[in-house]
Structure 1
């Protein structure tokens, strides 16, 4: 194969590889060889993203950071649930039900798991307002009798009932304002159906999922500036030596 996307990605030619894969659009899913190599790149992206998440969680924990719900109760939460065997079943179900989901979303669900960085930092009182990274596909922290397939099916049904031309966004995270326990806008998520290699991530703006993640990791998991005294120092330390995707 002439592309050799994975070897080029590993050699550091990441931007060109993502550009070329995005240029293929959903045609990348019609060629088994192209799809396989693109999925390998996406899986390597997920491996790096998971390492970044684990490093950030470790550093925040060492700071005395408390991970908790985005409400007044502040119920303690586990910040990272690695994927389970159900993750592959879920993304296959999403592919069938929503008419294909992007390869980067499949890779995240199967390789990273569920991430929730909302919480309180002892030296950064406005950390929850910095839009901490949340990306929950499998829904591991929710009760077993509330399967994510039911939740996603309900979102699809509500979208179909509206009868308008809005794009369907598969919700993965509360928006930045909700993370800070205030009333906000619609949740962040990826646009579906979409058979492309990289997802379009709809947040405050819409951008390729990998571009969004790289921006988040360059900021230590907290991409929104809050203007407090210790913010830059903490953010800089959290982001130190994280892997580019």
Structure 2
């Protein structure tokens, strides 16, 4: 399984290094979102600062869908799904490797997004520990779901419209928990921030376990 994880992880990152989708498309998109909201709501406004937690995670969700769609779109024309089925590699290992590569790409995007928001929105950070804990947990959940639905949606017609319909309902609890944890960390929400972080941890376990358990069946379907 470790061999399958490493091969898939390395393959996806090599494709990213060659196509530079994250650098050339996803990061400019998230920066454009930050600037548009700064201009539209006034970077000094209280409303913008209160909206920052939700805006961060909604932007991450759309960035994730772009990364997942592009990865699946590159794989299919090359006949990779058929080759993987015949390779004898562990389906669970391949799923975990794809989840790990998506996690890395999303983390890079989030670092840029967070830096831009701190610089442009004048946000107050009351709970740095909450933020640095919630980000990887939320990112892992998003990557785990994307690694299930991305290849599945790519095998269907109209994948650009199908993927959001599959991913967004599954990730609604992640958006809720991550946004509330960020709200407490930014001082815009009063509540038990670490309970929301705990919820993110439970969602990680649930999504990764579900993805691992269904990886073989999903590989056959794609």
Compute the TM-score of the two structures, normalised by the length of structure 1. Answer: 0.27
Q: Greater relative contact order: 1 or 2 (C-alpha under 8 angstroms, separation 6 or more)?
A: 2
- Greater strand content: 1
Please report the TM-score for the alignment, with normalisation by the length of structure 2: 0.29
Structure ranking higher in helix proportion: 2
